[in-house]
Amino acid sequence: MNRLAEQVQAEAVAPVPAKVAGRAVLLIPHRSDAADEGALPGDYRRILTIVREGGGPVQVRAVGERLGLDASVRGKLEPLRAKMTKLAACGWLHKRPDGRFTARP
């Protein structure tokens, strides 16, 4: 019975898929619209956790290394940079002028 309640709760905060130019994409909720970060997809929650644990401004490269990405290849970090920029645009992170990111309080 408890598992059913957890499943219903997970479905209620699941990211909303949408189509853009015929491609399926996940809509990232704005921070003010979401009850908590549980409304974010799993990889976005991991990014947010890593930035918070950084304790200060972090570079995309540092987050990529923590995620196990090959940080020596710039092209491997660009999808991560796009996700972090999307989190900043939605109010979850703050992108500094020097390109580093901090978590919003």
Q: Kindly report the CATH number assigned to the domain that includes residue 82.
A: 1.10.10.10
| Whether pTM exceeds 0.75 | no
Radius of gyration for the alpha carbons in the chain, expressed in angstroms and rounded: 15
Region for residue 91 given its phi and psi (left: phi exceeds 0; alpha: psi -120 to 50; beta: otherwise): left
Q: What is the pLDDT of residue 25?
A: 59
Q: What is the pLDDT of residue 85?
A: 96
What is the rounded distance in angstroms from the CA atom of residue 27 to the CA atom of residue 64? 22
What is the rounded distance in angstroms from the CA atom of residue 83 to the CA atom of residue 74? 15
Q: Which domain holds residue 36?
A: 28-103
The pLDDT tens digits of the residues spanning 19-77 come to 555 665 567 888 886 668 888 889 999 999 999 999 899 999 999 999 999 988 878 89
- Total number of domains constituting the chain: 1
Asked if residue 17 has pLDDT above 60, the reply is: no
In a domain, 88, yes or no: yes
Distance of CA 11 to the CA centre of its chain: 18
